[in-house]
A = this chain, B = another copy of it.
Amino acid sequence: MDDKQILMIPGPTPVPEQALLALAKQPIGHRSSEFGCIFEEVLQNLQWLHQTQNDVLMLTASGTGAMEAGIINFLSPGDRVLVGCNGKFGDRWADLATTYNLNVEKITADWGKPLDPEQFREKLEADTEKQIKAVIVTHSETSTGVINDLETINRHVKTHGEALIIVDAVTSLGTVNIPVDEWGIDVVVSASQKGYMIPPGLGFVSVSEKAWEAYKTAKMPRFYLDLDKYRQFQAKNTTPFTPPINLMMALQVSLQMMKKEGLANIFARHQRLMNATRAALKQLNLPLFAPDNVASPAITAVAPVQADTEQILKIMKNRYDIALAGGQDHLKGKIFRIGHLGFVTDRDILTAIGSLEATLIELGQDSLTPGAGVAAAAKVFAQSEARAPVQ
């Protein structure tokens, strides 16, 4: 049936009705005072979301454009950088850094396993000549549902003292705590179609004072992604280039919703959604791809053994109108992923698990106890604190 689909991929995520309606407004001029007011409010709320006083710059770009901005503004060809690689997006950072002729040293872990902070510590401690200019970490690895231990890795970077820490927070910002100022994270990259609860088209980069210092000596040509241009214009509540005005109006709304919910509630909700999803999948004998202690509150990856992944995705989509994501690159056909980030509530998990149970039954998984998954999720919800009542 048309228009019935529920998106449970790791982005784009479902969009609240009030943000969709903001998207559908006639655009206004980006040099108007009305737009300036929206922009000013959005900038303040972005700082709130990032828990920072740093500039949070907005680019008309996919997340990858924001990633590129995070590199070319602060580094020079030949600079030594450590890049954590345990999934598709870590690899993309390494590709990006290699394209810009950085001296890339990968710290790897198998896909589905977390990065080992000790390996960062060793490299950083050994670097007594302070040649490492940046450490790049993908916080929540969207391709595997693993969350890396940013707090510990960052502590080692801080002990090093010179290197910048550049964080891909594309599926972690707005789903898990990242106290940017408290931890001293230099560059944080994110994108609109994830925790922000709006469609794709906007990238975000937060920049610390230390990173701006590095900007002064960084030698890579840049124009469209030159973050100093954005800083200068944003200081006047405007943009150097035409922004995606309608997305910005939707962002105004979604940030208001996030503020109303509050950071602690947002993080607790994502934790709860993850716990319920994982408890349910265990009851359904579906092996979880990431271990419990490094599971991302944004995405759960499943590696079915008895059932065919593609068949599961197909029935979930065609009969139950729920879009899940398959695996990427060498994980294609081996895992599927459930996105539970952004505009997702407890009910959505019950819906997805119930449909997944029905799908497994259709596929002849006789060992399954019907209802066990939904019951496990329900138990997690029942044991968590009740949500604040609807106002």
Contact = CB atoms under 8 A, between A and B. Distances in A.
Given A100-B223, A221-B99, A221-B101, A63 B242 contact: yes
B23 A246 contact: yes
A24 B24 contact: yes
A100 B30 CA distance: 28
A23 B26 contact: no
B27 A64 contact: no
A192 to B, nearest CB: 9
Interface string A84-109: 00000000000110011100000000
Interface string A219-253: 01111110000000000000011111111000000
Q: Kindly name the residue among A64, A99, A224 whose own CB sees the greatest number of chain B CB atoms within 10 A.
A: A224
Contact of A246 (B28, B29, B96, B199): B199
A310 B95 CA distance: 50
Contact of A64 (B14, B21, B65, B223): B223
A7 interface: yes
Contact of A61 (B11, B191, B224): B224
Contacts of A68: 223-224
Contact of A323 (B15, B23, B29, B64): B29
A62 interface: yes
A3 to B, nearest CB: 7
A293 to B, nearest CB: 29
A173 interface: no
Interface of A: 3, 5, 7, 9, 11-12, 14-15, 20-21, 23-32, 60-65, 67-68, 95-96, 99-101, 191, 193, 199-201, 220-225, 240-247, 323, 325
